[in-house]
Structure 1
């Protein structure tokens, strides 16, 4: 006769589960998600910085145009001269010899920035007003044309040149 042990008295222990996986190092998929998040954050920061610089630059230019208009409120010749000098500083980015151009070469230097002919014609009245006291001059139209030209010039500038305007 063989001895049989009852089922409840067997010396067996319960199944041992392996330990929970460690949180470090993360799985390769998490590394990809982290890398993508870093790239997206850096890209977003660069776009934000670029847009912020553009806003600051536009505000500075508008402020300078307003200051010129206020400073020379009753003197069209001085206003035309000051606005013309502002444009010459901006054209210098496209044409190194623009500081001495007049007439059609000056118009050609301004035309390097893609603006319509009406804007160029309006800006050319600055030169006429500076040297001819009785030349036709519309302050509002000239101010708007200068703003349009400067805005178009800003869009065309290379990023490393923007800080100098």
Structure 2
């Protein structure tokens, strides 16, 4: 049986459908048909502009973001597709908090829908720190098909692991 480490929380029937696609060597073709394009946001500066535009559209009153970057140290296996951090530093006797968003480098070559889903997820953490009902409602507000994209992204990561094995 094919291990599906990214899909462990999904119902067995869905996992079985993915296993069938894997067994028939069709998972990559399925994903290519659904997501044929690759985004052009390759630099950290372009990623910052993209993220800031989404924030201004949906979360205008949320705290600002100081830094957005691709991070090749983020380990997708440890379930870190992106990371939202608030770093506090002492500047001249004052404590300043800087908010950063880091996106796993693997998403440089992903479909634009996957990049947007990851950015939306990290932006939602500006308002909701926990993965609770309000958090996912906010994600759905910013990306109406958020849950389907999250599932498809997990299939993409499964396919990527199998094709690099």
Question: For this structure pair, what is the TM-score category when the shorter chain's length is used for normalisation?
Answer: under 0.3
Give the structure with the higher percent strand: 2
**Structure showing greater relative contact order (alpha-carbon pairs closer than 8 Å, 6 or more residues apart):** 2
Answer with 1 or 2: which has the greater Rg. Answer: 1
Q: Structure 1-normalised TM-score?
A: 0.24
Q: Structure 2-normalised TM-score?
A: 0.24
